[in-house]
Amino acid sequence: MSIGKIMVVDDDSNICELLRLYLEKEDFEVCIASNGSQALEMFEREKPELILLDIMMPVLDGWQVCREIRKKSSCPIIMLTAKGEVFDKVLGLELGADDYVVKPFEAKEVIARVKAVLRRSGDNKQKSKIVQFDNLYINMENYELRVRGKQIDTPPKEMELIYHLSSNPNRVYTRDQLLDEVWGFEYYGDSRTVDVHVKRLREKLDGVSDRWTLKTVWGVGYKFEVKEDGE
């Protein structure tokens, strides 16, 4: 599943495809424009969450594109600059670009900067990686699960399962839904697998709180049930 759409603008198709390769590996969706005017048009249509923008381009150069986009949007922009143009990039930043990368670049570095800029720009739809209910604390950043403040070592699948369930309290998930959403779409295993993981989680979590419980919905699936106040 895509974690965001990124528009790559460069007249060198090798560079575009290289970036596409790496970005898609990181689960970004990618669209490509090979010149400035195409970029502006595509920007309207695709509404990307971030733009990787080459400076040296035919028709409209990167700065002009940057300036145009800034007139109507604050979409993050990372400039791609050739080695010779080192000091113009400073002005690029002043025009409203968020970061820059100097060619020839390491693809890994570009990815890192994309992530950093997205993180900084904040309004990305990344939901909190922390869930807390009464004396249960789940932190997917650190892969940490705490019960009454005490850390409990938990394997990744169990971790993701309890996180998924508790992120949407009171919602019932069928086993197949859980296999799709936690294990992944391509997974084709026995749905009893879910039961086993639920069982292990219960071993760790049962009787821990009277304010929530990992409940079986008979004939349907499971839910993380949270009790209302005073109930």
Partner DNA sequence: ACATTATTTAAATGTTTATTGAAAAAAGCA
Partner DNA sequence: TGCTTTTTTCAATAAACATTTAAATAATGT
Measured CA to CA, the distance from residue 226 to residue 166 in angstroms comes to 9
| Segment holding 205, helix H or strand E | helix 192-205
**Of these partners, a copy of itself, DNA, none, which one is at the site of residue 193 (CB under 5 to 8 Å by kind)?**
DNA
Question: Any contact of residue 157 with DNA (CB under 7 A)?
Answer: yes
Contacts with a copy of itself, 28-67, as mask; x by CB under 8 A: ----------------------------------------
Question: Any contact of residue 144 with a copy of itself (CB under 8 A)?
Answer: yes
State in angstroms the smallest separation of the CB of 216 from DNA. 4
Helices (H) and strands (E) in the chain, counts: 8, 12
**Of these partners, a copy of itself, DNA, none, which one is at the site of residue 190 (CB under 5 to 8 Å by kind)?**
DNA
**Of these partners, a copy of itself, DNA, none, which one is at the site of residue 195 (CB under 5 to 8 Å by kind)?**
DNA
State the Cα torsion 84-22-47-68 to the nearest 10°: 0
User: Using omega within 30 degrees of 0 as the cis cutoff, is the peptide bond preceding 48 cis?
Assistant: no
Q: Which is nearer to DNA, 122 or 156 (CB)?
A: 156
Site residues (CB under 8 A) for a copy of itself, limited to 171-190: 171-172, 180, 185-186
Measured CA to CA, the distance from residue 72 to residue 24 in angstroms comes to 27
Question: Any contact of residue 82 with a copy of itself (CB under 8 A)?
Answer: no
Q: What per-residue string of b and e applies to 168-189 under the rule 16 or more CB within 10 Å gives b?
A: eeeebbebebbbeebbeeeeee
User: Under 8 Å CB-to-CB from 21, ≥6 apart: which residues?
Assistant: 107
**Of these partners, DNA, a copy of itself, none, which one is at the site of residue 189 (CB under 5 to 8 Å by kind)?**
DNA
Binding-site ranges for DNA (CB under 7 A): 153, 155-158, 183, 187, 189-190, 192-193, 195-199, 202, 216-221
